[in-house]
Each structure stands twice: as structure tokens, then as C-alpha cells.
């Protein structure tokens, strides 16, 4: 992103990109179903191919402003990609703030699997609230992510990233814990849709304030030569915890009551979030002090 716009506009571009993805998540099932019904299978496939071609043309129309790499450096990197990858990995390990946030993302994806696995199981099979209620809850959650990213696009660049991430992390944990109380058997369908939807709306907004600012930090802080490998490594490690969480919670929801699983998972996530938040804030303060010290030395020299 920082090769498309300057640093002052990375937050807005990243937020709008995530907003577009959330918008598509909300409306794509309805649009896709309608197109399939109107066009038929063969035409539907042709339409999908055309949509991908349009996407390719949009990408080709973009103007990137990449920083040129010296020929010797380029040849060295081409011949030793594994060594370059290890440099990127060492960068992640050396950057404690990035390491803390990545650890938080891994643990969050692990625990949020309780929502991905348990909500359909609880709403449809245990509460018998129907697929419509499940669709409403999923849509409200996507709307929350959309609202969060649109809000980020309107806000000025975030100055205190650690505190923003900490607050969002705690909110996600609290909403997961609160969702367990909504899932108690005997709750009416209307109450489940309204109260559960409100909780998931807040959770979606908080999730947007976690994912998007972290992407912005990587775009701004990581050197250009390492950006692709660092971002890909962070994303891969974070995503790897999702299937593990799904497998774990698939077993857990067969053994314990669903509302207990949500509540306990939220409590565990909240404790971890509070502990990690302290580490992130302390590390960000340390990095800010070092930056100010370097600026003072540069001014004096």
C-alpha cells in the first residue's frame, strides 16, 4: 500500500479496502444467489470469469512507485531467497511489539473459533432459532466490521497504536464472554436477534480496530525490502491457528454446554488480552523514548 499512496493516506486506503471487503461479505450471498437464479449455471460461470478479468484490468491500471534495488543486491536476493526469508523472520523476532501483536492475533484466532463453530451449532441445533436468525447474526457481525473500517477511514492517523489495539482486544474478549449469556437456553428468538446482534456488532467494530491498524503498522514500520515476507509470515502464522481452533472447539461443543464454552473462552481471552495489553503499551512507550532520544542526538549533532 505504501507504494500506492504516501504514509499519510495508508490508514484511509487500508480502512476503505477492508470496508469494501466487509461490504462484499454482507451483500455477496444475495447478489450471487440472484445472478445464479437469473443467469443459470453456464452463464454464471462466464460472469465469474468476466469479473476476474475486470479485477485483473483494475490491478494492471494501478501505478506503483516501488523503490529501485541495486543490481548486485537483486542478483544476490534471487540466488538466495531462503536466506532473505530468514532475515524477514529474524526481523519479526527482533521487533518485540510486532511479536506481541502477532502472538495476540494467533491466540485471538484460536479463541474466536468458539464463535465460528459454536454460533451455528447453538442457534440452529440447540436453540432452534432457525437459519434466518443465524443469517441475521452473521450479517450484523459483518456490518460491525464495515462500520469499524469506515470509522477508521474518517479518523486521523492513530497516534497510540498499543492502546487502540489493547482496547479492541479487550472488547472482543468481553463480547465473546457476553455472547455466552445470550446463548442460555430458553431465550426468545427476538431477544436473541436483538441482544445477540448488538453484541456481535460491537465485536465486529472491535475486530476492525484490531486487524486494520495492525496492517497499517506493518506497512509503515517494516522496511520495503522485507515488507512482503514479513506481512506474509505474520498472516500465515495467524491464519494457521484458525483450523486448530476449529478442531478443538468442534470437540469441546460436543462435550460441554455451548453457553459455558462461550463464557469461559471469553474469560480466558480477557485475561490474556489484559496481560498482552500491558506488554504492548510498555514496549510502544520504550520505542517512542528511543525514537525521541535519537531525534535529540541528531539535532545536537
Confidence (pLDDT) at 80 = 61
Confidence (pLDDT) at 6 = 73
Confidence (pLDDT) at 54 = 94
Residue 36 to residues 31, 39, 42, 53, 250, Cα–Cα distance (Å): 9, 5, 9, 19, 32
CA distance 256 to 261: 7
Single pTM value for the model: 0.74
Confidence (pLDDT) at 174 = 93
Confidence (pLDDT) at 272 = 93
Digit-by-digit pLDDT tens for the chain (301 residues) are 767 777 777 777 777 777 777 777 767 766 776 777 787 888 888 888 998 999 999 989 988 776 665 544 444 455 466 676 677 778 888 888 888 888 888 898 888 888 888 888 777 777 777 777 887 888 888 888 888 888 888 888 778 888 999 999 999 999 999 888 877 766 677 778 888 889 999 999 998 888 888 887 887 778 777 777 787 788 778 788 888 888 898 888 888 888 888 889 999 999 999 999 999 899 888 887 877 777 666 666 6
Residues in the chain: 301
Owner of C-alpha cell 469506515: 150
CA distance 19 to 295: 36
Say how many C-beta atoms besides its own lie within 10 A of residue 106's C-beta: 19
Confidence (pLDDT) at 67 = 62
Confidence (pLDDT) at 81 = 62
Confidence (pLDDT) at 71 = 47
Amino acid at each position: 500500500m505504501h507504494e500506492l499512496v504516501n504514509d499519510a493516506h495508508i490508514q484511509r486506503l487500508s480502512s476503505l479496502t477492508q470496508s469494501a471487503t466487509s461490504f462484499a461479505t454482507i451483500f455477496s450471498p444475495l447478489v450471487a444467489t440472484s445472478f445464479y437464479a437469473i443467469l443459470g449455471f453456464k452463464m454464471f460461470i462466464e460472469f465469474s470469469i468476466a469479473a476476474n478479468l475486470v479485477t485483473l484490468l483494475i490491478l494492471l491500471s494501478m501505478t506503483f512507485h516501488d523503490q529501485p534495488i541495486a543490481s548486485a543486491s537483486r542478483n544476490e536476493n534471487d540466488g538466495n531467497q531462503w536466506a532473505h526469508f530468514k532475515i524477514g523472520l529474524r526481523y519479526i523476532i527482533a521487533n518485540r511489539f510486532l511479536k506481541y501483536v502477532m502472538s495476540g492475533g494467533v491466540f485471538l484466532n484460536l479463541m474466536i473459533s468458539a464463535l465460528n463453530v459454536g454460533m451455528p451449532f447453538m442457534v440452529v441445533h440447540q436453540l432452534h432459532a432457525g437459519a434466518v436468525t443465524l443469517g441475521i447474526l452473521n450479517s450484523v457481525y459483518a456490518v460491525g466490521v464495515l462500520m469499524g473500517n469506515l470509522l477508521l477511514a474518517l479518523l486521523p492517523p492513530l497516534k497510540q497504536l498499543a492502546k487502540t489495539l489493547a482496547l479492541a482486544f479487550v472488547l472482543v474478549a468481553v463480547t465473546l464472554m457476553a455472547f455466552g449469556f445470550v446463548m442460555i437456553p430458553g431465550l426468545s428468538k427476538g431477544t436473541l436477534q436483538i441482544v445477540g446482534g448488538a453484541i456481535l456488532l460491537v465485536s465486529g467494530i472491535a475486530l476492525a480496530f484490531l486487524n486494520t491498524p495492525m496492517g497499517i503498522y506493518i506497512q509503515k514500520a517494516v522496511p520495503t525490502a522485507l515488507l512482503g515476507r514479513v506481512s506474509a509470515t505474520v498472516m500465515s502464522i495467524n491464519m494457521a491457528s484458525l483450523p486448530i481452533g476449529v478442531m478443538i472447539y468442534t470437540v469441546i461443543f460436543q462435550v460441554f454446554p455451548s453457553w459455558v464454552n462461550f463464557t469461559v473462552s471469553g474469560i480466558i481471552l480477557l485475561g490474556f488480552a489484559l496481560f498482552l495489553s500491558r506488554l504492548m503499551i510498555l514496549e510502544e512507550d520504550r520505542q517512542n523514548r528511543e525514537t525521541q532520544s535519537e531525534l535529540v542526538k541528531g539535532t545536537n549533532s
